[in-house]
Structure 1
Amino acid sequence: MALEGLAGDYKAAPFISREEIRRLAVAHGTKPSLRSHPNVVSLSERQQKEL
């Protein structure tokens, strides 16, 4: 990427508005939280089990 910048071949990413991001997020839907997953153990719980 540094060579592209020196050569002047760098193209900026297209502008995406917050509204477009919001629409994409709504269309994509929600995913369940990993924190609420029953198989996930927090670091503090893991350390307590080792003691």
Structure 2
Amino acid sequence: MEMTGWWVLLLLVFKILFIGGLYDYHFMPKDIFLSLLLIEIVLMLYICVSAGSSRFNK
């Protein structure tokens, strides 16, 4: 449960960066924008899987 909190915090930081990237899209290269999007999706999947597995384990 402790690790999930850290992942959520990390995701919030990425979300802020991602929204900043969306806002300043013309300043950000497309590959960086896409990699941020990919990282966000992977983190979301990881959080969902880890939260689900810890729920099933208990």
Structure having the higher Rg: 1
Which protein has greater RCO, CA pairs closer than 8 Å, 6+ apart? Answer: 2
Q: TM-score, normalised by structure 2?
A: 0.28
Of Structure 1 and Structure 2, the greater helix share is in 2
Q: TM-score, normalised by structure 1?
A: 0.29
